[in-house]
Amino acid sequence: MKIEDVRCVHACKNTCAMLNESLRKEAAIVRFYESILEDCNLPEVRSFVETTIEERRKSILKIIQKLNEIHARSQVVDGMISSFNNIDG
Protein backbone atom coordinates (compact mmCIF):
# COMPACT_ATOMS: atom_id res chain seq x y z
CA MET A 1 0.00 0.00 0.00
CA LYS A 2 1.33 3.38 -0.99
CA ILE A 3 1.01 6.49 1.18
CA GLU A 4 -1.38 7.91 -1.41
CA ASP A 5 -3.76 5.01 -0.67
CA VAL A 6 -4.25 6.21 2.91
CA ARG A 7 -6.27 9.39 3.12
CA CYS A 8 -7.93 11.05 6.07
CA VAL A 9 -11.66 11.19 5.42
CA HIS A 10 -12.28 13.60 8.30
CA ALA A 11 -15.38 11.62 9.23
CA CYS A 12 -14.07 9.45 12.03
CA LYS A 13 -16.52 8.78 14.81
CA ASN A 14 -15.11 6.41 17.42
CA THR A 15 -11.73 5.89 15.82
CA CYS A 16 -9.26 7.28 13.29
CA ALA A 17 -8.51 5.49 10.04
CA MET A 18 -5.07 7.06 9.81
CA LEU A 19 -4.07 5.95 13.31
CA ASN A 20 -5.45 2.46 12.71
CA GLU A 21 -3.34 2.16 9.56
CA SER A 22 -0.31 3.47 11.46
CA LEU A 23 -0.93 0.87 14.17
CA ARG A 24 -1.16 -1.89 11.59
CA LYS A 25 2.11 -0.84 9.94
CA GLU A 26 3.99 -0.41 13.22
CA ALA A 27 2.90 -3.90 14.31
CA ALA A 28 4.09 -5.33 10.99
CA ILE A 29 7.45 -3.61 11.41
CA VAL A 30 7.83 -5.08 14.91
CA ARG A 31 7.06 -8.56 13.57
CA PHE A 32 9.65 -8.02 10.84
CA TYR A 33 12.34 -6.97 13.32
CA GLU A 34 11.45 -9.90 15.59
CA SER A 35 11.94 -12.30 12.67
CA ILE A 36 15.35 -10.73 11.97
CA LEU A 37 16.26 -11.13 15.62
CA GLU A 38 15.60 -14.87 15.50
CA ASP A 39 18.42 -15.36 12.98
CA CYS A 40 20.85 -12.76 14.28
CA ASN A 41 23.76 -13.86 16.42
CA LEU A 42 25.97 -10.75 16.26
CA PRO A 43 25.62 -9.11 19.70
CA GLU A 44 25.99 -5.55 18.42
CA VAL A 45 23.26 -6.00 15.81
CA ARG A 46 21.03 -7.96 18.21
CA SER A 47 21.24 -5.14 20.72
CA PHE A 48 20.41 -2.56 18.05
CA VAL A 49 17.42 -4.54 16.78
CA GLU A 50 16.16 -5.16 20.33
CA THR A 51 16.34 -1.42 21.04
CA THR A 52 14.53 -0.68 17.79
CA ILE A 53 11.79 -3.17 18.67
CA GLU A 54 11.28 -1.54 22.06
CA GLU A 55 11.05 1.91 20.47
CA ARG A 56 8.46 0.66 17.97
CA ARG A 57 6.46 -0.99 20.76
CA LYS A 58 6.39 2.34 22.59
CA SER A 59 5.06 3.95 19.41
CA ILE A 60 2.38 1.27 19.22
CA LEU A 61 1.34 1.99 22.80
CA LYS A 62 1.13 5.72 22.06
CA ILE A 63 -1.07 5.06 19.04
CA ILE A 64 -3.34 2.78 21.07
CA GLN A 65 -3.58 5.41 23.81
CA LYS A 66 -4.57 8.08 21.29
CA LEU A 67 -7.17 5.79 19.73
CA ASN A 68 -8.60 5.13 23.20
CA GLU A 69 -8.75 8.88 23.88
CA ILE A 70 -10.61 9.45 20.61
CA HIS A 71 -13.03 6.66 21.44
CA ALA A 72 -13.66 7.96 24.97
CA ARG A 73 -14.18 11.52 23.75
CA SER A 74 -16.62 10.29 21.13
CA GLN A 75 -18.59 8.40 23.77
CA VAL A 76 -18.81 11.54 25.93
CA VAL A 77 -20.05 13.59 22.99
CA ASP A 78 -22.58 10.88 22.09
CA GLY A 79 -23.81 10.88 25.70
CA MET A 80 -24.22 14.65 25.68
CA ILE A 81 -26.10 14.58 22.38
CA SER A 82 -28.40 11.80 23.55
CA SER A 83 -29.15 13.70 26.76
CA PHE A 84 -30.43 16.61 24.67
CA ASN A 85 -32.46 14.27 22.50
CA ASN A 86 -34.09 12.61 25.54
CA ILE A 87 -35.66 15.70 27.04
CA ASP A 88 -39.06 14.83 28.48
CA GLY A 89 -41.22 17.79 28.59
Give, as one character, the DSSP assignment of residue 86: T
pLDDT tens, position by position, 28-64: 999 999 999 989 999 999 999 999 999 999 999 999 9
**What's the pLDDT score for residue 78?**
61
Alpha helices in 1-89 (DSSP H): 17-39, 43-85
User: pTM, whole model, 2 decimals?
Assistant: 0.73
Long-range CB pairs of 8-13 (<8 Å, 24+ gap) are 12/70, 13/74
Q: What is the mean pLDDT of the chain?
A: 83
Q: Looking at the predicted structure, is the pLDDT value of residue 25 above 90?
A: yes
Per domain, the residue ranges of the chain are 13-83
C-beta separation of 32 from 83 below 8 A: no
**What's the pLDDT score for residue 71?**
84
